[in-house]
């Protein structure tokens, strides 16, 4: 059974067996002690916040890996070097947290592959104190990378449980420049705009016009566009007349960008 579930999770090099065994043992411990077992991926119950020399060494190796893949922005590399990625994940992933790949975080979402985080961050060409709108907070790892680079980050999450988890995530208090919102990413945050940069961390079926409207002239948006399993990474630069200049980059695979707000308590779990 462990082998079957691990295969479905698509975890390589034995990672799937490690994760499943850890979670099964944790569940058994909860039941034996009378504690209510949490769901797989419920981060607030199973995180670890110790940053050891081993973790720091693994981060250095991760930075070397993404550097070899073409990431050259030293501020991006430095941010990834200094942010403990394992803090953002279930403790079951501790031994594999610095592998260059995505992992589930609950609610059908993932913490992105570090290379993808670095790639999008590099395309944004962040300058200190710029206002950045992020669509799809998720684990908040990408938002922290941008904040570590000096950006003022306004980040939207449509999943209520992930939004609430991040509200209680004490590590995020370190970044006073982070502001969290629960809402529909397609709508953006018009009250707080315009923004110097916009980053979308989910696969958009089209370029949301309201996000373009909230960009300053000369501002840039980095967004993966396309339906299906593969999307094309685009960078849009807003022109003085309101049109955009489009640059096309590599292919990536993201979870889909959805409208509305999930878990808003309106009977069907979604509020438009």
| Residues sharing a CB contact under 8 Å with residue 40, sequence separation 6 or more, in sequence order | 23, 90, 104, 106
191 in the Ramachandran plot: left (φ > 0), alpha (ψ -120 to 50) or beta? alpha
Helix (H) or strand (E) holding 216: strand 215-225
Catalytic one among 112, 139, 168, 253? Answer: 112
Tokens for 3, please give them: 């082998």
Measured CA to CA, the distance from residue 95 to residue 52 in angstroms comes to: 12
Question: Got the DSSP string for 7-30?
Answer: HHHT--TTHHHHHHHHHHHHHHHH
Is 168 assigned a catalytic role? no
Measured CA to CA, the distance from residue 68 to residue 9 in angstroms comes to: 27
Contact call for residues 87 and 171 (beta carbons, < 8 A):
yes
Nearest in space to 104 (alpha carbons), one of 23, 43, 10, 41: 41
Half-sphere CA count of 130, side-chain side, radius 13 A: 22
Measured CA to CA, the distance from residue 144 to residue 101 in angstroms comes to: 18
- Secondary-structure percent of the chain, ordered helix, strand, coil, rounded to 5: 40, 25, 40
10 in the Ramachandran plot: left (φ > 0), alpha (ψ -120 to 50) or beta? left
Q: Which residues are catalytic?
A: 112
């Amino acid at each position: 059974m462990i082998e079957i579930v691990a295969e479905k999770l698509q975890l390589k090099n034995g990672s799937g067996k490690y994760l499943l065994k850890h979670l099964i043992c944790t569940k058994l411990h909860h039941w034996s002690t009378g504690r209510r077992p949490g769901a797989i991926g419920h981060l607030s119950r199973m995180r670890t916040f110790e940053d050891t020399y081993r973790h720091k060494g693994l981060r250095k190796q991760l930075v070397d890996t993404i550097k070899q893949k073409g990431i050259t922005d030293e501020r991006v590399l430095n941010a990834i070097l200094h942010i403990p990625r394992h803090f953002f994940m279930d403790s079951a992933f501790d031994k594999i947290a610095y592998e260059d790949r995505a992992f589930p975080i609950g609610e059908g979402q993932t913490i992105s592959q570090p290379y993808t985080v670095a790639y999008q961050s590099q395309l944004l060409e962040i300058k200190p104190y710029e206002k950045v709108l992020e669509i799809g907070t998720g684990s908040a790892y990408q938002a922290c990378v941008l904040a570590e680079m000096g950006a003022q980050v306004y980040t939207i999450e449509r999943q209520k449980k992930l939004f609430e988890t991040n509200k209680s995530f004490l590590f995020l208090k370190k970044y006073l420049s982070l502001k969290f919102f629960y809402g529909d990413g397609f709508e953006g945050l018009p009250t707080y705009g315009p923004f110097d940069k916009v980053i979308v961390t989910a696969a958009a079926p089209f370029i949301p016009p309201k996000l373009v409207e909230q960009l300053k002239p000369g501002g840039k948006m980095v967004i993966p566009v396309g339906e299906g399993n593969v999307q094309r990474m685009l960078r849009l630069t807003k022109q003085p007349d309101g049109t955009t200049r489009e640059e096309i980059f590599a292919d990536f695979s993201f979870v889909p960008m959805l409208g509305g707000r999930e878990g808003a308590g309106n009977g069907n779990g979604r509020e438009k």
